[in-house]
Amino acid sequence: MNGMRKLIVTENITVDGVIDAAEGWFGLAGAEGVDQSDQIEVLNAQMKAADTFLCGRVTFEQMRSFWPHQTDDETGVSDYLNRVAKFVVSSTLTDPDWENSTVLRGPVLEQVQALKDQPGGDIVVTGSIQLAQTLVRADLVDEYRLFVYPVVLGRGARLFESATDVPGLTLVAAQPFRSGVVLLTYATS
């Protein structure tokens, strides 16, 4: 990992390691009346440090159908995603149809390494289960930011598919939020 920039995998994750959000479990912490101001403050600091967003096609299409259309987003996520350089890994997407977006057709690992070798801020991957797992196996991830939600599902896709996928991790920070979510930040070694 000789790149100039950090590749950071940021995931919402359950206590039992599930990152597949199909069941909407991560919305629990954002329920009405739950104070998320401390978590939003941390997200805004992370967004300021990252000038590149990398994701897979499914995550990209989900975000593209939602975030550009938000007019009352007080979190800053909509503004960030509309202006940041976005790279979507896809063999089928032809027109990303979202400003500042580029389609990466492969070879993915070489293209991601080339992004890391360019000067700039952090590169963040979120969601994008297959892409994240590919980057984990290729040892391209420099840091993991896991927003652990107080939920146990017992099923669903996990970030680390097997024990052999787990890199050497060093805990950098553990930060609890008022919502019950805990951010665990790990550097790879």
CATH number, domain containing residue 13: 3.40.430.10
In a domain, 136, yes or no: yes
Residue-number span of the structural domain to which 56 is assigned: 7-20+34-188
In a domain, 183, yes or no: yes
In a domain, 29, yes or no: no
Q: What is the pLDDT of residue 3?
A: 47
In a domain, 42, yes or no: yes
Question: Alpha-carbon torsion 59, 132, 78, 31, what sign?
Answer: positive
In a domain, 26, yes or no: no
pLDDT digits (tens, 9 = 90+) for 7-56: 999 999 999 999 988 777 776 665 667 788 899 999 999 999 999 999 99
User: If 0-12 CB within 10 Å is exposed, 13-18 middle and 19+ buried, where does residue 55 land?
Assistant: buried
In a domain, 98, yes or no: yes
In a domain, 108, yes or no: yes
pLDDT digits (tens, 9 = 90+) for 105-129: 989 999 999 999 999 999 999 999 9
Q: List 135's β-bridge partners, or say none.
A: none
What is the 8-class DSSP label of residue 166? P
Provide the pLDDT confidence category of residue 168 given band limits of 50, 70 and 90. Answer: confident
Q: What is the pLDDT of residue 54?
A: 97
Q: List 50's β-bridge partners, or say none.
A: 122
In a domain, 165, yes or no: yes
DSSP states of 26-85: GGGGGSTT---HHHHHHHHHHHHHEEEEEEEHHHHHHHHHHGGG-SS--SSHHHHHHHSE
Q: Which long-range contacts (CB under 8 A, 24 or more apart) does 163-168 make?
A: 165/133, 165/136, 165/137, 167/136, 167/139, 167/141
Instruction: For residue 99, give Cα distances in angstroms to 64, 81, 96, 118, 127.
Output: 10, 9, 8, 21, 20
Rounded Cα gap, residues 67 and 76, in angstroms: 10
Q: What is the mean pLDDT of the chain?
A: 90
